[in-house]
């Protein structure tokens, strides 16, 4: 079950990243029941990702 969810997450993230352009920004925040204090910084997209 966990393996299937990880594969779905990987596929979804590939779709999201491939649809972003050089003027787009991406940020990821993790959470369980509340938002985590550890956040990934907002990243500007480029042709390399």
The pLDDT value recorded for residue 7 is 92
The pLDDT value recorded for residue 49 is 57
Task: Please check whether residue 42 is in contact with residue 25, taking contact to mean a CB–CB distance below 8 angstroms.
Answer: yes
Rounded to whole angstroms, how far apart are CA atoms 4 and 6?
A: 5
Rounded to whole angstroms, how far apart are CA atoms 41 and 2?
A: 26
**pLDDT tens digits, residue range 1-49?**
788 988 998 999 899 888 988 888 887 777 666 655 555 666 676 766 5
Rounded to whole angstroms, how far apart are CA atoms 21 and 47?
A: 8
Angle at CA of residue 10, ends 1 and 32, nearest 5°: 65
Within-domain flag for 23: yes
The pLDDT value recorded for residue 12 is 92
* Model confidence, pTM: 0.55
The pLDDT value recorded for residue 25 is 83
Domain that includes residue 20, residue range: 2-44
Within-domain flag for 12: yes
> How many domains are contained in the chain?
1
């Amino acid at each position: 079950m966990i393996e299937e969810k990880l594969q779905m997450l990987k596929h979804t993230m590939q779709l999201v990243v491939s649809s972003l352009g050089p003027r787009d920004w991406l940020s990821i925040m993790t959470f369980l029941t509340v938002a985590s204090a550890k956040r990934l910084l907002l990243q500007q997209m480029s042709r390399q990702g």
